[in-house]
Structure 1
Amino acid sequence: MYRSSGLKKMKPSAILINAARGPVVDMDALTLALREGWIAAAALDVTDPEPIPVDHPLLSLPNCLIVPHIGSATVVARNRMATRAAENLLAGLRGEKLPYCVNPKVYE
């Protein structure tokens, strides 16, 4: 988790990007880091809590970009997701290994 101690170690020119999980970054520490200039900016696809409260101080900072947690919401990505889900479903119904299994150890 990025807390104050970790954020202070970053370069003042650093831009923190969190597209993983909200709890990876301490939101209060990030607010302080951006206000105090410990880092230059932040870009967040996730927050903690999610959705971020409308009165959260990060929303008013000019050096913080927050986007809705919809990084996969492109036509191409959604088409691939649907196709792969269908291919997995059909393979499973045929008793075959899933072509897009995220945990292949289940076959060991």
Structure 2
Amino acid sequence: MKEKLRRYTPEQIKVIEQYWDTLRFTRKTGQIADGIKEREYEYWERFDPALVIEALTIHIRKYPNIRESYTRGILRNLKGGASLGSNGKSINPKHGTAQNTSGTKRDERAEEAFRRRLAGL
């Protein structure tokens, strides 16, 4: 996975780490699988690194309790439309919902830990 991060500066990598740390609270286990990270890194390659970091920062700041699929929409909106594939046609991946897709409530302990982190405790 380190090869996917080569296009980012050390400061940008810190934002990416903060992003994954924030999103882990959207999971019952409090962890994000490496496969999910890999898939997102591949998607991000379609966009300029500065745009990716801007989208991650927006997601962290405004939507910390929504899963990573929401970041894709933020990226597309920042770019000003759908991204284009190698054939020049629009790519329209399935848009995730803002709700927990498993249909269950988030772990309350994770929620409490997240709120303490936001409060700076």
Q: Shorter-chain TM-score: what band?
A: under 0.3
Q: Which structure would you say has the larger Rg?
A: 1
TM-score by length of 1: 0.28
Greater RCO, CA 8 A, separation 6+: 2
TM-score by length of 2: 0.26
